A and B are shown apart, each in its own frame.
Chain A
Amino acid sequence: MSLVSQRSDVTEFRRRFKWLALAVVLAFLGIATRLFQLQVVESDENRATARENIVRRVTLATTRGIIRDRNGKVLAASRPSYNLYVVPEKLDMVGTWPKLASYLGLGVDERARIEAMLTQLRGDDTGAGHGRKSQQILLKEDISRDAVAALLTHEAELPKVEVVPVPVRYYPFEEVGAHVLGYMAEVDADKLGQLRSSGYVEGDRVGVTGIERAWESYLRGTRGWEKVLVDAKGRRRAGGEGIIEDPRRTDPIPGRDLRLTLDADLLKAMEKAMRGEIAGGIALVDVRTGRILGLYSKPGFDPNALSGGSGKQVIRDAFRRLYTDPLKPALDKTIAGAYPPGSTFKPFTALAALEKGLIDPRATQMCKGALSFGKRSFRCTHVHGAVDLHIGIAESCNVYFYRLAAEAGVGMDIIAEMGQRFGLGAKTGVGVSAEAAGRMPTRAWMTLRNKGQFRLGFGLNAAIGQGATTVTVLQLALAYAALANGGTLYQPQIVRAVETSAGTVVQEFAPRVRRQMDLRPENLAMVHKALVAGVNQVGGTAYRARLTGVEVAGKTGTAQVSHRLTRGVENDRVWYFNREHAWFSGFAPTKSPEVAIVVLVEHGGAGGKHAAPIAFEVVRAYQELTRERGAAGRAAAGRGQGRAAGADPRAGSPPAGAVRNPLDPPPQGAP
């Protein structure tokens, strides 16, 4: 019994119970203090962290503005491109993959290639590859609409397969107008540094050339954003009231649409007219406004391939072709290429002589096929016999112009001054692509270039647009427009209006006069008449190429090319690149001209034979289109419906701000 009582003696423990209880209370108090710290003192910070955990700001894509031609035809727009993503690890290779491959319509080779890639990724358990198999990969870019439809229909059978639409720039006319429109490319790291402040991010596409580049800030639009709830696995969740602070969303602003002065149908006509030649450029300008109706450069490129959507490989191939082709498809031959104008320059030499009163236009010179000057013989195309100014221009006699320079005192500086007044040898300020300036060489410039030696022969070459003289196709077109409209040099215009995506005009650009030349009307009329004769009079250089019903005045040119090619190049290439450039510059119709046209066929040979027919084809297309649209416009007006679809009534008549042509008969009612 005593043993039992001793064994049950709890005195050893007795004094310690209250200390244990105290220790317990203190420990729990300690935890409560910690919770007080987290839940009361630091509550705001923790709440903020918890909110940051689940609230994501996602950007809302904007749409790039649409580029339309003068009649509303779409030249550049955005289309959705569908990209297919899978997570290799999660893809069922037995159940899902064969179905996926058949819905995609993969060929045998492509299927085998993708399957091998997937198998390799799935089997890779090493550190380096481990990440990739559990990450989403781009399985196929820009899948066809049919495939998209098939995939969406069978969505339920294809778990873990995702189709993501991304906007891709789309140019429905493909090569036509490519140089002016430009193309898009993913913004590179260097550029991104500059553009980041304007809201660009990695992977954005930006206009690289042409209008896409020059009008980027208008076309681009502004991204929007929205705050959404996302769980720890990155999945979107609905709701968010009371969690997401206001404002929750800012809508994206779509980019501005552009209305161009270009005419898509004319561009197509230019492309068609140039089919027989491999390289060159055409410019068609409204002489009453300076608006560019058509610019065409050959060879071209398909901006769709460069702007992405069909995959990186396609982009790489397209770029390689663009920059290895000796015909330089990347170069806009109408704006960025400077060429000797050859005989198309002669009207300006003639005007320089007339304006200075240095010659009697009716006096004749003898052309024996060449002119000996100093130690050299300056050649003409053939023996013209007795030539006055009219015939000199119409039949393009070099000797007549040599003599102006050599004997009548029409020096280089006089010629250059007249060229410069017409805007030749200086950038036009069209502002869409890198522009070549060309050159109007002066006596001082030639002396400097020739190591202090000036030779009078330089002046003879300058008189016929050879030697150091170079111009661009667009410059020449604007200069001929000025010849046609009585001496008004316009600022070239290619974007006519900026519109919202809803079609409201935000900004409309009126024609701008660059220079009003004070030329004597009788001198201008004389050159005018000679240009009409060049096409329409027997013996005119373009007479044989004329088309019935197509009323054109103009001048051909056959510009010699300086021999540049080095040894080691194949013979046929040497032959091609040493051949003359063929030119035709003119305006139409002959009475009250509407358009000026310049055609350059690089290394095309004789201008009358190779350039003039192309120009006439384009002018014919212009006349037909104007007639059609005029009829359609009148019909629509007759029905009292106002503006007809596809026809702009303003296209046919000179707008306000245009300068009246002094060569035209005065309008009715004028004094």
Chain B
Amino acid sequence: MRSDTLAHRLREHFDWPLFIAAVLIAVLGVVNLYSATSVYQGARSELYISQVYWLVLGGILGGVVVVVDYRHLERLGYVLYGFGVTSLVLVFALARDVRGSARWIDLGAFKYQPSEFMKIFLVIALAKYLHDDPRSEGRTLRDLAIPAVLTAIPAALILRQPDLGTATLLSLVFVSICAMTRVKLKSILLLLAAVGPSLWFVWNYVLLQYQKDRVTIFLNPEADILRRGWHAHHARVAIGNGGLFGNGFMKGTQNQFLFMPDQYTDFPFAVYSEEWGFVGTSLLIGLYTFLVVWAVRIASQAKDRFGAVLGIGCGAIIFWHAAINMGMVSGVLPVVGVTLPLFSYGGSSVTTMLLAVALLMNVSMRRSAGVPTFDRP
């Protein structure tokens, strides 16, 4: 009986638009990786194959997540959060330095990047908190204190790695979720007033020199093209070199002539833009727009508060990643290490994004309250 119900649910409620949008992005990503890494010899030229493995593995993991009703996660919310924070603490003890920053825990077969998964865990924890704390009137700052602390703990740990991009991302996910809730006008004004002083504080006491450099380079892009401004400058040139229709697959000169370091992790969008032009970038942006708006739609149709926050949180993860990555590659934001969802190479990144899509699918499939649930007899 149970399997019948599951099969039925999969058939009736499977969110095809969500699935197709995610698959299209992933396919474009793999094709693009093939071109991006074609400039290398040896193992790095075959990263697109690893990416396929990661997508399959993440897909299986996502499938498991889809099958289990998301409300189980509600119960496990703080446990998962605690696991995530513990992993982040472990990073300091176990992690290896990669380019001066310790982000990975080596698990032998693969490297696990706790900060990536922390994004999901944080969304779940925030969803649980808001689920348990319904309000009919506007929230005050005090009401937001606990979710803020929930965000601040992992964000601070990640900032210590140091990984400014991910820390910022956690904060933005928190802000996005807050944007859903009803907050008192006075509190909003107070928060806005605090923005200036806190930026000053962060700049002077939190940011490291190389992080500040990225901001100054962003403000004055042509000052140091040969060293610190290299990435930003050449990415911008690559995008522009694509023109309206692009140079064609495998024909982007900026990439083929090695002007694009990190073209498979943080800058694949530049390679893609150069090869496919404005037509191609419009398609990709369209796909991301659809995916995120669809996530908002899923959230809006969720049958409970937990599902709604989960949907918005996952949508926010995808949105901020996409917006920040494309923004930094095209030179409207400073360079921070934020990947393009399902497009950039990276096991932890791909898995996290697939988990976010799976959670969206999960919420989407269980939106109508009338459908009997298979796991709650």
Contacts and interface: CB of A to CB of B under 8 A. Distances in A.
Contacts of A51: 253
A50 B288 CA distance: 28
Most A CB contacts (10 A, CB to CB) among B182, B253, B288, B312 go to: B253
Interface string A8-40: 111111101100110011011011101110111
B297 A21 contact: yes
Interface in A23-79: 24-25, 27-28, 30-32, 34-36, 38-40, 42-43, 45-47, 49-51, 53-54
Contacts of B35: none
A21 B176 CA distance: 12
A191 interface: no
A50 B242 CA distance: 10
Interface stretch (A98-106, A225-233, A308-316, A458-466): A225-233
A287 to B, nearest CB: 68
- Chain B residues touching A, range: 35 or more
A31 B285 contact: yes
Interface in B230-248: 234, 236-244
A31 B329 CA distance: 10
A145 interface: no
A567 interface: no
A14 B327 CA distance: 30
A229 B297 contact: no
A35 B281 contact: yes
Most B CB contacts (10 A, CB to CB) among A20, A30, A46 go to: A20
Contacts of A38: 236, 239-240, 330-331
A32 to B, nearest CB: 5
Contact of A12 (B134, B258, B288, B292): B134
B303 to A, nearest CB: 7
A40 B312 CA distance: 34
Contacts of A45: 240
Contacts of B256: 231
Interface residues of A, number: 43
B271 interface: no
A473 B288 CA distance: 92
A53 B254 contact: yes
A43 B242 CA distance: 8
Given A39-B239, A46-B239, A53-B257, A34 B288 contact: no
A9 B307 CA distance: 11
Given A8-B304, A53-B259, A229-B257, A39 B243 contact: yes
B304 A17 contact: no
A7 interface: yes
A131 to B, nearest CB: 14
Contacts of B323: 27-28, 31
B305 A9 contact: yes
A643 interface: no
Nearest to A24: B292
A575 B259 CA distance: 74
A10 B281 contact: no
B249 interface: no
B293 A24 contact: yes
B238 to A, nearest CB: 7
A237 interface: yes
A31 B240 contact: no
A39 B300 contact: no
A243 interface: yes
A49 B274 CA distance: 13
B289 interface: yes
Contacts of A13: 180-181, 299-300, 305, 308-309, 312
A31 B134 contact: no
Contacts of B293: 21, 24-25
A232 B231 CA distance: 12
B259 A232 contact: yes
Given A24-B292, A237-B257, A53 B237 contact: yes
Contacts of A453: none
A140 to B, nearest CB: 31
B259 A31 contact: no
Nearest to B281: A35
B296 A243 contact: no
B121 interface: no
B92 interface: no
B285 A14 contact: no
B330 A34 contact: yes
A450 interface: no
A92 B135 CA distance: 71
Contact of B302 (A10, A34, A40): A10
5 contacts: A10-B308, A28-B288, A34-B327, A35-B239, A45-B240
Q: Top 10 A-B pairs ranked by shortest CB distance? A: A46-B240, A8-B304, A50-B241, A17-B300, A39-B278, A232-B258, A231-B257, A43-B243, A38-B240, A28-B289
